[in-house]
Each structure stands twice: as C-alpha cells, then as structure tokens.
Amino acid sequence: MVEKLVHVNGVDLCVETFGDPAEPAILLIGGATSSMDWWEDEFCERLAAGLRFVLRYDSRDTGRSTSYPAGAPPYSQLDLTADAVGLLDAFGLAEAHVVGISMGGGIGQRLGVEFPDRVSSLTLISTSPGGPGGPANPDLPPMSERIQALFAEPAPDPDWSDRAAMTDHMVAGYRPFAGSCPVDQERERELAGRIFDRTTDIAASMTNHWIIEGGDPIRHRLGDVTAPTLVLHGTEDPLFPFGHAEALAREIPGSDLVALAGVGHQMPPRQVWDVVVPAILRHTSGGWERQADRLAAQSLATGSPTGWFERLYQAGVAGETTMPWDRRAPHPLLTEWAHGLRGEGRSALVVGCGFGADAEFVAGLGFETVAFDISDTAVRLVRARFPESPVEYLRADLFEPPAGWQAAFDLVVEIFTVQALPDSVRDKATAAVANLVGPGGTLLAIEAVREDPAVQGPPWPLTRREIESFATGGLTPVRVEEIADPHRWRAEFRRPR
C-alpha cells in the first residue's frame, strides 16, 4: 500500500492505494467525520486480492488532509463530490467503481447522477435516498428513539488534546449506532487511537462535516442513475432503518439489495466481511469472463497457462463473481451431432468437463464416461451436483494426462477447452487432445471461430488451420463445419483401426 498527499480541487487529500493500478479501480468514500482508517487495511487488501486497484482517502477535515477551523468549514458536500472526481483525475482514471458509506453513499449517489461517465458502478452502504425520515421525508422510516435522544442531547465535548479522553469519546459515540452483531471493542479502541494520531485537527474532524451544506436534493433524479448499483444495508440500522435501503433499491433502476443481518449504522464489522467483500468484488467484476481475463493475464505473466482456472472457480465459490462455465444443458452442437448415436460397450472422455452437462449427456448415450478438469474445485462441484452419476470425474492435466489414457478412448469430446489456452501452447494442446483417441475412435472438437487476428483472450478462438491441426498423430478429418450463428467450428476426426 502506498500513501501520499494529492493536490485536488484546491486542497490536499491524503490517499492510500492497494493493488495494481492497471486493474479496475475501486474508490472508497467514507462517512461523515470518518478518515480513511475506517476502511481497514485487511478489508482493502482483500478487495485488492480480487484484482482491483483500491483507493481510500481522508476527506477534508479528516486524517492528514486539509483541515479548517472547527465550526467554520468553507465547503459543502458539493465540494466533497468534486474532490472525489478530482482524485480520479489525479490518478489518471477515466472512471471507477464507487463504494460509499453513509454520507459517502450520498456523495456516491450524487456522482452517479451528475458524473455518470466517471462511475463504473455504485455500491451504497448504510445510506439513504433522502436523509433521515421525518417531516421532510415522510415516506422514509424515522431514526430510532435512542438516536433521536442522542442528537437532542449530545455528549459534552472532550478535551480534544487528550488522546485517552478522545479515544473514550469516539468509542462511546460509536456504540449507540451499532447493531447486535458483536463488535471487537479492543480493535475499535485501537482504531480510535490510530484516527487520533493521524488527524491534523481532531476538533475540526469531529465537528465540521455535521454543519456543511448538502447541496440541492437529488432524490428525484435517482431514476436517471445508469451505473449498476448494489445496496448493502444493516437490518438494525438505527439512523437509516432498513426501509431507506429498500427505497434506494426501488428508486435506482436495476439495483441489487443485500441485507447485513444484525448490522447497525456502522462500517461493516469483520463478521460480515465474508458477505460484503465478495458482494463488492462480484458487483465490480464485470462478469466472470472479465475476471477470467484478469486472472489469465496474471497467470500467463508467471508462465502458467492453466493456473487461472482454479482461481476463477474459487472466485465463483466465494461469490466474488458469477460461476464460470455453468451450463445446465449439453452443448447443442454436441447433441445435434450425436443424434442417433449409441455408446454401449465403448468408452468416452470429456476434456475440461466444468459442471458436467456434456459428460452427463455422453454417459446417457451409453458410453462408459470419464471426464476431467484441471481445477480441483470444478471437480468437487461437479461431483456434488451429480452425486449418483455414472461418470468418473477426475482432476487431471491435459498436458500430463495419466499414462493409461493415451490412445485409450473410443470417443473424445473437446468443447472450448483448447480455445481457453493461449496461442503459445495451442499446438501442444491440440496434440494432447488428439493423443487420447484410441484406434477406430472419434474426436469431436467444438470451438469458437477466430474473427480478429489480434484477439486478446481468453478465449483465443481458433483459425481454420488450428481446428484442422487436430488431424495429428494419425487422426484424419471426417468433416470440419463452420457454423454461422453463433460462429463456431464443429470438427470430427477419426483414428484408423
């Protein structure tokens, strides 16, 4: 992680980054009076481990950023919104996935409305479409009586210069907003101490955000938000009860709402990080295909053309992306080709079996079927999906298959595995598949057709020369079909007896 001061919008903001700047950016925007310390190191590191470039920062009057005299902030929430845009400019980022909590969620909404081209997606945590419920927002539930009493009779100001007194004051201030989800009180005290130590003017930090102007309301414009939006909200939020989250999800088109059980108006406690972190990663992934691109690039950079498959399946299991290659039905080009085919007394091998739809179909034709995948996770999942299956699902490496598989199968089915491997190992992969076909056996290969010679995979679709190169090691082509919609190769090869 790297911390530095950045001059933005006429002020200095302290920013810390995690991860590779080449990855999709996540901009974390804190709530009122909250320095970036609230986005804990490990939380940011987990996001960065999902191949994201994470930025957290001290907003004005917090942490090490520009501070003003307590009670006299010369800025508004509009300036805080402009600061967020300025940070993107300072880092050369055309856009970012914006994650905002409480007031930071309000800033996120304004960004989505007023700067839609700068927002890849929105994640709104513990926030509201219109502020606290009451006469100004009669359709939104009011804050709890406990919080109303707290605002009506706030605790007296502590000695701002006394670290111990300030730590006690901050911790006592957090407690009424928490839900029933247990809080690590020792960690909370450590965090409060760290905030005190890092903050230029703690009195200004604890005061000024509460008295700035919010700008013109934008609730009536939330229907114009085009960024994909995820709403994360505690079920026990006493400031913005859960109805605020439901209103946000209704008013921003296509929003997803995730309830955080037992969480109040607070940074998500560690107990729910296993919900929150995967939810944010999934929301910012762009789909499993985009995450596959990132994982493959990282894997190939280390010289491993197949290492990314396991990591992608693991990400799917963790909920960090949609599950890859999760077909529930056999490939239609396989079922069409196999019409009338019976396999009793013969063996079949399915390459790169994934979730097993093709293998189950082949076994249903009567073949004694083996199916394999390079990913341990994929094999575990497919066995769980088909616990009574006659298919033998195994973990194996196409480039180092079991010795008994060479020239051993009457039918080999290869669908989209070779195209998931880079050009650098293409010839080795096609030869490895061809070597599995036994005497008198058949290979069926289904792959995408390469239309762009400069394609940056995965996948790396095949040219005609590459699909025809399965005719190696004694295999001869039976027919090679180029199918228009979708643009696919379906090629059949046979080995003489």
pLDDT per position as a tens digit, 11-23? 999 999 999 999 9
If asked whether residues 277 and 307 sit together in one domain, one would say no
Q: Please compute the mean of the pLDDT values over residues 126-131 and round it to a whole number.
A: 96
Q: Please check whether residue 18 lies inside any domain of the structure.
A: yes
If asked whether residues 27 and 43 sit together in one domain, one would say yes
Q: Please compute the mean of the pLDDT values over residues 384-389 and round it to a whole number.
A: 98
If asked whether residues 305 and 380 sit together in one domain, one would say no
Q: Which domain holds residue 489?
A: 332-494
Catalytic residue among 83, 237, 358, 410: 237
Amino acid type, 298: Q
If asked whether residues 277 and 376 sit together in one domain, one would say no
pLDDT value at residue 384: 98
Q: Please check whether residue 222 lies inside any domain of the structure.
A: yes
Catalytic site residue 7? no
- pLDDT higher than threshold 80 for residue 2: no
| Residue 163, SS3 per DSSP | helix
Q: Please check whether residue 327 lies inside any domain of the structure.
A: no
pLDDT value at residue 136: 85
Q: Please check whether residue 432 lies inside any domain of the structure.
A: yes
pLDDT value at residue 154: 87
φ, ψ of residue 348 to 5 degrees: the values are -140, 150
Q: Please check whether residue 417 lies inside any domain of the structure.
A: yes
Q: Please compute the mean of the pLDDT values over residues 309-320 and round it to a whole number.
A: 97
Q: Say which CATH number the domain at 211 has.
A: 3.40.50.1820
Contact 350, 359 (CB under 8 A): yes
If asked whether residues 338 and 313 sit together in one domain, one would say no
Q: Please compute the mean of the pLDDT values over residues 394-411 and round it to a whole number.
A: 97
- pLDDT higher than threshold 80 for residue 1: no
- pLDDT higher than threshold 90 for residue 184: no
- Total-model pTM: 0.93
Q: Please check whether residue 325 lies inside any domain of the structure.
A: no
If asked whether residues 167 and 272 sit together in one domain, one would say yes
Catalytic residue among 244, 265, 283, 331: 265
Catalytic residue among 59, 67, 102, 126: 102
For 26, the token pair is 């996540």
Q: Which tens digits make up the pLDDT trace of 424-450?
A: 999 999 999 999 999 999 999 999 999
pLDDT value at residue 295: 95
If asked whether residues 277 and 299 sit together in one domain, one would say no
Number of domains in the chain: 3
Q: Which tens digits make up the pLDDT trace of 444-481?
A: 999 999 999 888 889 999 999 999 999 999 999 999 99
**What is the spatial distance between Cα 422 and Cα 301, in angstroms, rounded to a whole number?**
12
Q: Please check whether residue 122 lies inside any domain of the structure.
A: yes
Catalytic site residue 237? yes
Q: Express as a percent the part of the chain with pLDDT over 70.
A: 100
Q: Which tens digits make up the pLDDT trace of 44-93?
A: 999 999 999 999 999 999 999 999 999 999 999 999 999 999 999 999 99
Q: Please compute the mean of the pLDDT values over residues 358-385 and round it to a whole number.
A: 98
Question: What is the residue-wise DSSP string for 341-370?
Answer: ---TT-EEEEES-TTSHHHHHHHHTT-EEE
The end-to-end CA distance of the chain, in Å, is: 62
If asked whether residues 342 and 429 sit together in one domain, one would say yes
Catalytic site residue 265? yes
Average pLDDT, the chain: 96
Q: Say which CATH number the domain at 401 has.
A: 3.40.50.150
If asked whether residues 294 and 351 sit together in one domain, one would say no
- Count Cα atoms within 13 angstroms, Cβ side, for 98: 35
If asked whether residues 295 and 271 sit together in one domain, one would say no
Q: Please check whether residue 270 lies inside any domain of the structure.
A: yes
- pLDDT higher than threshold 80 for residue 281: yes
pLDDT value at residue 90: 97
If asked whether residues 47 and 155 sit together in one domain, one would say yes
**What is the spatial distance between Cα 73 and Cα 206, in angstroms, rounded to a whole number?**
12
If asked whether residues 276 and 293 sit together in one domain, one would say no
